[in-house]
A and B are shown apart, each in its own frame.
Chain A
Amino acid sequence: MSNQEKHWEKSRGLLMITLAIWFVFSIGIFLFGAEMNEVTGPFGYPWTYWFTCQGSLGAFVILIFWFANRQEKIDEEFGFSEREDE
Chain B
Amino acid sequence: MKQGNFIDNLPKIYGIYTGGFIGFIIIMAIAEQMGMTAKAIGIAFVAFTVFIYALIGYLSRTAQADAYYVAGRQVPTVFNGMATAADWMSGASFVAMAGGIYFKGYGYMALLVGWTGGYVLVASLLAPYLRKFGCYTVPDFIGTRYGGNLARFSAVVVLTVASFTYVTAQINATGTIASVALDIPFQYAVYIGLISILLCSMLGGMRGVTWTQVAQYIVLIIAYLLPVFWISNKIGAGFFPHFMLADEVARIGELEAQFGFVKNSAADLATVPKGLAGITKAHSAVNATPWAFISLALAMMMGTASLPHVMMRYFTTPSVKAARKSVGWSLFFIFLLYSSAPMLATLSKLSLLDPNLSTGIIGKSIAEVQAIDWYQNWNTANLMFISDFNGNGTVELNEFFMGGKAVVLATPEIAGLPYVISGLVAAGGMAAAMSTADGLILAIANAISHDVYYKIIDPKAETAKRLVVARVLLVVIGFAGATIAAMEIQGILGSVIWAFDFAMSGLFFPLVLGVWWKRANRQGAIAGMLGGLAAGTWYLVWVRTGGSGFLGITQLTFGIFGSAVSLVAMVVVSLMTQEPDKATQKMVDEVRVPSGKTILGKQ
Q: Do A and B bind each other?
A: yes
Q: Which residue of A lies closest to B323 (CB)?
A: A68
Q: What CA separation (Å) do A67 and B319 show in the bound complex?
A: 16
What residues of A have a CB within 8 angstroms of the CB of B245 in the complex? 45
Best-buried of B106, B242, B338 by chain A (most CB within 10 Å): B106
Instruction: Determine if B235 is an interface residue (Cβ-Cβ < 8 Å).
Output: no
Instruction: Determine if B244 is an interface residue (Cβ-Cβ < 8 Å).
Output: yes
Residues 285-321 of chain B, each 1 if its beta carbon lies under 8 Å from chain A, else 0? 1101010011001100100000000000000011111
What residues of A have a CB within 8 angstroms of the CB of B592 in the complex? 4, 7-8, 11
Contacts A60-B117, A82-B319, A86-B322 given; indicate if A53 touches B339 (C-beta within 8 A): yes
Q: What CA separation (Å) do A73 and B295 show in the bound complex?
A: 35
What residues of B have a CB within 8 angstroms of the CB of A7 in the complex? 592-593
Instruction: Determine if B284 is an interface residue (Cβ-Cβ < 8 Å).
Output: yes
Instruction: Determine if A57 is an interface residue (Cβ-Cβ < 8 Å).
Output: yes
What residues of A have a CB within 8 angstroms of the CB of B297 in the complex? 26-27, 30
What residues of A have a CB within 8 angstroms of the CB of B247 in the complex? 44
B80 to chain A, nearest CB (A): 10
CB atoms of A81 and B322 under 8 A apart: no
Q: Which residue of A lies closest to B330 (CB)?
A: A64
The bracket for how many chain B residues form the interface is 35 or more
Contacts A15-B124, A53-B342, A81-B594 given; indicate if A22 touches B331 (C-beta within 8 A): no
Contacts A48-B286, A80-B593 given; indicate if A68 touches B123 (C-beta within 8 A): yes
CB atoms of A82 and B594 under 8 A apart: yes
What residues of A have a CB within 8 angstroms of the CB of B456 in the complex? none
Contacts A26-B113, A33-B293, A82-B321 given; indicate if A64 touches B595 (C-beta within 8 A): no
Residues 66-86 of chain A, each 1 if its beta carbon lies under 8 Å from chain B, else 0? 011001100100011111111
What residues of B have a CB within 8 angstroms of the CB of A53 in the complex? 109, 112, 339, 342-343
Best-buried of B293, B321, B335, B342 by chain A (most CB within 10 Å): B321
Contacts A37-B285, A52-B342, A86-B77 given; indicate if A80 touches B595 (C-beta within 8 A): yes
A86 to chain B, nearest CB (A): 4
What residues of A have a CB within 8 angstroms of the CB of B294 in the complex? 27, 30-31
Q: What CA separation (Å) do A60 and B500 show in the bound complex?
A: 20
CB atoms of A67 and B124 under 8 A apart: yes
Instruction: Determine if A34 is an interface residue (Cβ-Cβ < 8 Å).
Output: yes
Instruction: Determine if B63 is an interface residue (Cβ-Cβ < 8 Å).
Output: no
CB atoms of B76 and A86 under 8 A apart: yes
CB atoms of B286 and A33 under 8 A apart: yes
B53 to chain A, nearest CB (A): 26
What residues of A have a CB within 8 angstroms of the CB of B290 in the complex? 30-33
Instruction: Determine if B22 is an interface residue (Cβ-Cβ < 8 Å).
Output: no
A18 to chain B, nearest CB (A): 5
What residues of A have a CB within 8 angstroms of the CB of B250 in the complex? 44
Q: Give the A-B contact count at a CB cut-off of 8 A.
A: 152
Q: Which residue of B lies closest to A38 (CB)?
A: B286
CB atoms of B120 and A18 under 8 A apart: yes
Instruction: Determine if B324 is an interface residue (Cβ-Cβ < 8 Å).
Output: yes
What residues of A have a CB within 8 angstroms of the CB of B104 in the complex? none
Contacts A54-B339, A79-B595 given; indicate if A43 touches B123 (C-beta within 8 A): no
What residues of B have a CB within 8 angstroms of the CB of A25 in the complex? 117
B283 to chain A, nearest CB (A): 9
Contacts A22-B121, A60-B331 given; indicate if A34 touches B286 (C-beta within 8 A): yes
| Partner pick for A46 among B123, B242, B284, B589, CB 8 A cutoff | B284
CB atoms of A64 and B339 under 8 A apart: no
CB atoms of A22 and B286 under 8 A apart: no
Q: List A residues at the B interface (Cβ < 8 Å).
A: 4, 7-8, 11, 15, 18-19, 22, 25-27, 30-34, 37, 43-46, 48-49, 51-54, 56-58, 60-61, 63-65, 67-68, 71-72, 75, 79-86
Across chains A and B, which 6 residue pairs bring their CB atoms closest together, nearest first?
A: A44-B246, A26-B117, A68-B324, A52-B109, A64-B328, A80-B593
In the complex, besides A52-B112, A56-B113, A67-B123, 20 extra interface pairs with C-beta distance below 8 angstroms are: A25-B117, A26-B117, A26-B120, A27-B298, A34-B286, A52-B106, A52-B113, A57-B116, A57-B335, A57-B339, A58-B335, A58-B339, A60-B116, A60-B117, A64-B327, A64-B331, A67-B324, A68-B324, A85-B321, A86-B322
Can you report 12 residue pairs joining A to B where beta carbons are below 8 Å apart?
A: A7-B592, A30-B294, A31-B290, A33-B106, A48-B286, A52-B113, A56-B113, A61-B332, A64-B331, A75-B595, A81-B595, A82-B320
